[in-house]
Each structure stands twice: as structure tokens, then as C-alpha cells.
Structure 1
């Protein structure tokens, strides 16, 4: 039975993460980039100043005015908590191993275009959200599909895919990454990690979105700074390799990998595929998931929350994923010939965690422990962030009375996720992530005129 499920999943996965879908991901991002006049580049002072820059002069950004809502910064941290995960570490390493250093360039491309995709998602998310009987905001990709397009059936499909992804990608796989890492480095039994996670996650998510946001607001800046500073130290120690690393990245992004006077590797196509897919996997731009966190903000201007989404993708991929890539490539632990040989021999699922751990170990005596702690922080944040996404889709599908049972199931799944080796769960979750994108990208294309109109209106008003 499991083998049959795996075979069916492989076929579906090949479609949702195939060349055609990756082109659509880039195409939607390019559509909004062109129609907004390359806003992520030309308007960087605007979106940076109205989001992260506003933290220093506008108290309203940090403090919600409505007790049923969360602040702009809290919604940003909650969304970033869900996106900053194992994909920023092991995902980047896997992209480099499979697609070569050129994959990093295409990851940047997908991120810069994805900044405008997620801008559109959040603008629509704020525009079409509404308050429920308790006075709390209800929003997300499923809401703008229903209220903006009048396509309830599309919203239902999206919600089902998101609900399934929350149990897999948001829960079991992250718990497994934490448990395996702590067992390998600190010798902590996996079942102890699983039970501890159940308690910690229960304390957070049973307190509602306000508690999730409060924890995210505290943990996300700390864990990001912890990892970034550690990564920068490794890069600075190997500073003499920085120029050749960037030449390596740009060279392989447009040409074939030269090895021993001949040509080996996978060239531009594989670099593009791995870079774009891992970039989307990391920042989730186009999937529509993080809209639910942004929709809970007390912001009154949809365009402002759209720009918070841009900052989210920028930090997730342009900053954190780039740090991981440069740590691996400047440290000298990446061996192209060895990676090509392994893949050619049919070896799959090359351990990106080991590769990244070896890179940190070139500077830190206990590089594996530093990485295990980083992964634990990132994965825990992902677990609590995705719990809210799953909760909102469960409420959309079955009503608010389904939220508490959903949370109980979510908490209980952390233990088997920690103990088991859920290879199939990883693969299914990856598929559900991709399936979420199909209805969401369709909705963005059909509603893009509204986004562009609102973007132009904001520019006029700001001037």
C-alpha cells in the first residue's frame, strides 16, 4: 500500500515541481515585477522604510491596536517563523549538491521575483479578509479565492492541500529534523525530544494566535541573528575565497560544470530546476500559506502588509539562504567531482545537513552542534507557524469548532514524527506544497489587475 502511494506521489510530484510549474512560478513573479515597474528594485527604500525601517520610529508597528489582532511586526515574525526552516539549511545544501553552485543564482532569481508574488498575495489577503463573530480577522489565500474570484471550490482544494501539508511539512518532518540532529550531536533520545516538543508546542499553540505571535516575535529575531552571525564568521574566516565563489556561482548558472578538462554535471537546466524549486520551498512565495499570518495583522493598508511579505522573502532567501550557500562554498567542503560521482552512481538524498555541518566545523570546533541548535530553532519556529496555517484552513473547511481537535492531532503527531524516519512523509509534504501553488497562482493571475491598481494608488498617495 505504502509503495503504491509512493509511486502515485512520484508522478504527481514530478508534475507539480516540473519544468512547466517552475516556469509559471517565475512567470507570475515577472508579471507583477513588470506591472509594478520593478518595485522590489526601484522601490527598495520605500518597502524597506515602511516595514523594517518603521520599527525605529512607529510604535504602532510593534503594538497591535486591536486585542483580537496581532501587530504588523508580529504577523511578519509569525510568517517568517513558518518559512525559516530546514529548507534554509539542508535545502540549500541539497540544491548545491544536485544542481551545482549555479543553483544559488537561480535561487536568487526566484526570490527576487517571488518578492512581488508574495506582495500580491498579502495585498489580496488584507483586501478580502473579514471579521468573524468573535471579532477576529479571517483571511488567507482561500478567502480571496472565494470572495475575490467567487470560486469556493478552488478555495476548498487549496485548504485541503494546505491542511495536509501542515501535518507533514509543518509538523512531522520538522520534528524529525530536530530529533535526529539532537540525537546525533547531543545524544538525546528521539522519544525524549518528541515528548518535549509536544509540551512546548502545546503551550504555544493552545494560547491562540496572540501567543503564537508573541513567541515568534521573540524567537525569530534571535534564531536568525544566531545563525547569520555564525555563518558570517565562517565566511569572513575564508574571505579570500569569496570572489572566486561568486564567479563560480555566476559561471555555473549559465554554463556547464567543467571537471578535469572535460564536461560533467547537469548544466543550466539542473541548476535552474534546483535553484528555483528550493527557493520556492524555502520562502513559500506563490504557495499562499503565509497570507494567513499576515491577514491577522491590525494593519489598515493592504499595500503595507504586502511590503512586509517582500521583507519576509528577502530575509528568508536573499539573506539566510545566501549565508548557507557561501558557508558551504567558501569553506571548501563542497567537492564537485564527488557529488557528481555519487549522483551518477544512483545515490539519492545526499545529506545536506552533514555537508553544512562540515562547513561550519572548518571554523567552529563543534560545528555539528552549532548546526543542530540552529536547525532545532528553525524547525521549532516552523512547527508553531504552520500550526496556525493548518488551524485556519481547518476552520475554513469545518468551522471554528474544528480548531481544537486539529490542534490536538497536530500535537500528538510530533512524537511519531520525531521517532520515525518519514521519507514518504517528506515526499508527500513536498507534493502538497506544490499542489497548494496551483490554485493560488491561478487566483493571482486572475486578480492581478486589482493588485496593480492598488500598487499604483499607494505610490500616488505616498508621493
Structure 2
């Protein structure tokens, strides 16, 4: 079965998904006039704005939830695997997918804000399922997306996150391949279950506390390793660009090329265009949808251009040559061990625990949103408790998977989500572009932008929250 999944993945990613990802990203980049670079400073400013209503979810909190899902085991194990299997050139294509994907992230999150809805407490919620249903008037496709997201995040990504976490313990003497994965998976499942039973607010509080600390510490440790091998940095960058444009190798064996692994692992890590982050973006309380579009664009850069690059350079500058046998956590642990000795693998294990934990929480935040959409209301308490116990069970099972099975299933689910969300974003992109133009007009006038549907030619009935 996994052989069939792998074959389907090869077809979906090349040529279909790669063409769609790059074409959509370049289209959004041109239509927004390079918004991901042009308004990067504005994105940094907006992220610190307070919510308009006391107690509501701020832009920063929404950023932390989406970053919690983006920033995870893929930043460590995923990037190390891409380098070991695809070579140095994978890093370049990872950068490209992040820069181009920044525009995709802006469009999808701005749309989620425009078409978000209001609950009985006055708070907002939304995501791709909601803008597909409202703007495209097609509930069938919207439900398909919601089902795909649930399968991707509650099953594919959470099983993969659980596997990646337990794999970091393989270097320790106490690790028994037949028993240890299940013990580690069981502990992780119980801790996650305790958090998710508390609902979305507990998830937001946990991730907004852990994510900044986790990310900053990881970058500092990576920089220390890079500085200790600073003499290797020029040759590493030269080799990255040299192998990135080795088109004979790329087209000779595309499925195993640096381009393919860079795009796959870059997409898995930053999720730009996948349709996950808009679920968190819609929760933020902002005065204008574009503000949260800019914030989510920033999240892509934090994930890939900062954290993934930290992993890549730390590994490549360590002096240890990547190989297929070291793919994943062993390569990162060996690289960090060149400076920190036996303490290196311990730090990677701690980082993986925190990365995986916040990723699992962020993933299930998205899943709850899609369950509400499919059910057309909040499901009963007994159903949600039962579902969350099931999710914890899936996390437990994921720890015992093989590496190839975990990655292949996650890649397949992610590809299907992209193939539903990105075409919808292309069709509706004109709405987000008009919102961006409206935002810039107000900024140029020296006022804090406030969104009104009529200002971009929309009827108030189309935007429930903004009436």
C-alpha cells in the first residue's frame, strides 16, 4: 500500500503540484507587486498590535498558533532528510518555495479574514472551507477541503510528528527499537490529550508561551555551531548554488533530486498555500484583513528563511558530509555534537520534544475548526472528547511507523489539500488584491486602516463578520 502511495506522490508532485505551487506563487507575487518583500517591515510592525477587543485573540497569538504548526519536526528532521537525500541544492529550492510562498500565504490568510464569521461570543473563526463555501458558493468542495485537512493534520502530520520525535531517542543506549517507540508515543499522546481536552484557548496559551522561547534558543545554538565552523560557510554556499542548478542531475532523476526534496520539505515545513494557517489567521481580531495576511506571510519567513536555514547551515557547516544513512535526526545530532559533544544530541532531543509538542497542538486547533464547519456548529461535548481520544491514539500509533511510511502518507495528504486550496485562492485573489489596495490607500493617508466591504466593491451580506 505504501508503495502505491509513493507512486501517487511522485505523480502529484511532479509535474502537477510543483507547477501549481510555483505558478500560483509567482502569479500572487506579481499581482501584489512583491508584497512579501515590499511590506515586510509593515508586517513586523503589525504583529505587535493589540486586539481591538479585550480578551480577543491578537495578531501575535494567531501568528504563534500558525507558527506552532509550521515550526515543528520538519524544521529539524525534514530539512536534514532533504539534504541527506537530495544534496546541498535542496536548500536553495527550499528558499525559493518560501519566498514565492510568502505571497500565497498572504492571499489565503487575507481571504480567511475577509470571509470569516462571528460566533455567539462575538469572536471570529474561518478558513479555506469558509471562503470556498461563501465566495465560490460550493459547499461540496468546501467539505472536501475540510475532510482533507482533518486527514492531513489529525492523521498524516501528527503521525509523522510522533515518529520524528521518538526517532531522536535512537542514539541513546536505553533505546529499544521494539519497545521504546511505543513508550515515547504513549507519553506524548497522554500529554497532548490533556492539552486538547482544554480546547482552543488552552492551545493558544500553550503555543504563545513555548514557540518564541523554543525558536530563539534553537537559532542561537545553530549560530554557535556555524560560528565554530565559520571558515566553511563560503564553500557551503557555493555548493548550495552549484548543486541547485545541476539540471542534468535534476532531470535525470527528478523524484530524488535536490529540487524535489527542497520543494517537498520546504512546503511541509512552511505550509504556504496548503490552507492550514488561514484557520488561525481568521481568529485574529484586527481592524483590517490585510494586517493578518501580512502577519501570516511573516510566519512563512520565520519558519523557512530563519529556522530551516539555521538547521541547514548548522548541518552543512559542521564538516560532516550528508549521507542517506544519516537522513533525519542523526545528521542534526552529529552536526551539533561537533561543538557541544555529548550534550548536542540531548539538546536536539529537547528541541524535538518542544517542536513536536507545539506542532501537534497547532495541528489539532485547525482540525477543530474544520469539524465545526462540517457539522455546521460545535459538535457535542461527548463527540469532541471521543474524537480527541482518537487523535491521541493516532499520535501513539505514529511513533511505531517506519520513516518512509510516515513521510509518504503526510506528503500525499498535504498535496491533496494544496490542489483544493490553491485554485480557490487564484479564483478569489482579486478580492485580496482589492483589500491590499484599500489598505495601502488608508496607510498613505496617514490613518490606521479599517476594513469596510463597500470600499472594495463587496456587499455586506458576503462578509458576515465585517457588517
TM-score bucket (shorter structure) = 0.7 to 0.9
Q: Give, in angstroms, the shift of residue 160 of structure 1.
A: 1.1
Aligned equivalents of 1:219 and 1:36: distance in 2?
A: 33
Count of residues paired in the alignment: 435
1:26 is aligned to: 22
Q: What CA deviation, in whole Å up to 9, does each residue of 1:325-351 have, x standing for no partner? A: 11111111125xxx4xx6xxxxxx862
Does residue 11 (structure 1) correspond to residue 11 (structure 2)? The answer is no
Please list every run of 5 or more consecutive structure 1 residues that lacks an aligned counterpart in the other structure.
Answer: 343-348
Aligned equivalents of 2:73 and 2:349: distance in 1?
A: 11
Aligned equivalents of 1:322 and 1:416: distance in 2?
A: 31
| Partner-residue secondary structure (3-state), 1:65 | coil
1:400 is aligned to: 378
1:331 is aligned to: 318
Q: Is contact 2:44-2:298 (8 Å) kept?
A: yes
Q: Is contact 2:10-2:255 (8 Å) kept?
A: no
Does residue 459 (structure 1) correspond to residue 444 (structure 2)? The answer is no
Q: Give, in angstroms, the shift of residue 381 of structure 1.
A: 0.7
Does residue 293 (structure 1) correspond to residue 280 (structure 2)? The answer is yes
Q: What CA deviation, in whole Å up to 9, does each residue of 1:133-164 have, x standing for no partner? A: 45442301111111111121111111111111
Aligned equivalents of 2:167 and 2:84: distance in 1?
A: 21
Aligned equivalents of 1:352 and 1:420: distance in 2?
A: 15
2:459 is aligned to: none
Change (3 A) 1:44 1:426: closer
Q: What CA deviation, in whole Å up to 9, does each residue of 1:174-214 have, x standing for no partner? A: 12222332354383744443333233212321222111111
Q: Is contact 1:76-1:312 (8 Å) kept?
A: yes
Q: Give, in angstroms, the shift of residue 17 of structure 1.
A: 1.8
Q: For 1:38-117, what aligned pairs fall within 5 Å after superposition?
A: 38-51=34-47, 55=48, 58=49, 60=50, 65-67=53-55, 69-117=56-104
Change (3 A) 1:50 1:70: closer
Q: Give, in angstroms, the shift of residue 44 of structure 1.
A: 2.3
| Partner-residue secondary structure (3-state), 2:399 | helix
RMSD: 2.4
Q: Is contact 2:82-2:261 (8 Å) kept?
A: yes
Aligned equivalents of 2:187 and 2:100: distance in 1?
A: 39
1:440 is aligned to: 421
Q: For 1:200-219, what aligned pairs fall within 5 Å after superposition?
A: 200-219=191-210
Does residue 365 (structure 1) correspond to residue 353 (structure 2)? The answer is no
Does residue 320 (structure 1) correspond to residue 278 (structure 2)? The answer is no
1:345 is aligned to: none
Give the TM-score, by structure 1 length.
Answer: 0.88
Q: Is contact 1:255-1:267 (8 Å) kept?
A: no
1:249 corresponds, among 218, 221, 240, to 240
Moved more, 423-432 or 111-120: 423-432
